Structure 1
Amino acid sequence: MKRLFAFIVFSAGLYGCQSTQNYKYQPTKLDNITIVRYQEMADNYQHLKFDRYNSILTVIYQLPASNLVWQPEQIEKQTRHTLCVNKKDTIYRLAHEDNIGVKFVYKGQGGEIIGPWAIDICEPN
């Protein structure tokens, strides 16, 4: 019994504070016209890819070539700003228009992959 209790406490400590890690994108059903539109757009930009089967737009950022390693907090802050705050950003408009998933890929030293996220990640818990 003590082992079970210790395991539960340990598990709650591991997973209780990771709000974005537990987020799971549910693929959005898009019509064929919307799929073709996103695919054409992604084909026109080197930093965009579109997964038509999961309705995920992948945005690839090249991190600045500097000696500073980007911290995960900075990357997540920029990602949330793009997806939730900056209403003039093209990615913001596209994600809110069709409720697609957006995956951010940060290449370079300290880079990482965040997402896929949908706009409901912007809603307060």
Structure 2
Amino acid sequence: MEDSDYPSEPTLLYAQLDHNMIGESIFKELGNQLLYRWPANERLTYALLELWEAQDERDRWSELEYVLHDGPFEVAYFYPDEIDFQEDVIERRERALRRHFGEKPIVYPPLLLEDETQNSEV
């Protein structure tokens, strides 16, 4: 919701966590397309890590889908025994997008160069 350009659009946060690894992807539904957004602030990474670490290590989920629709939200947790780790995480993420938003093209912003990321709001 801290995305000043698209704060109230339907949103999917897809995250994968493991020891020393956090990967989060944020997508906004914009009519007939999905837009990838860089995280609005770094607190998201720490919040995800705290949520993951709060679980008993034997019962920790590996991936989550958090979908926000103008207030109401739903969360799905996926555990290691439910995931085919031979399948690329990008394929699982795109399947989640299709499940929640249907067959829509995904628009990714151009990659930022290192000196540009230091000057941008992440």
More strand by share: 2
TM range (shorter): under 0.3
Structure whose alpha-carbon radius of gyration is higher: 1
TM-score scaled by structure 1? 0.25
* Structure of greater relative contact order (alpha carbons < 8 Å, 6+ residues apart): 2
TM-score w.r.t. structure 2 length? 0.25
Q: Which has the higher helix share?
A: 1
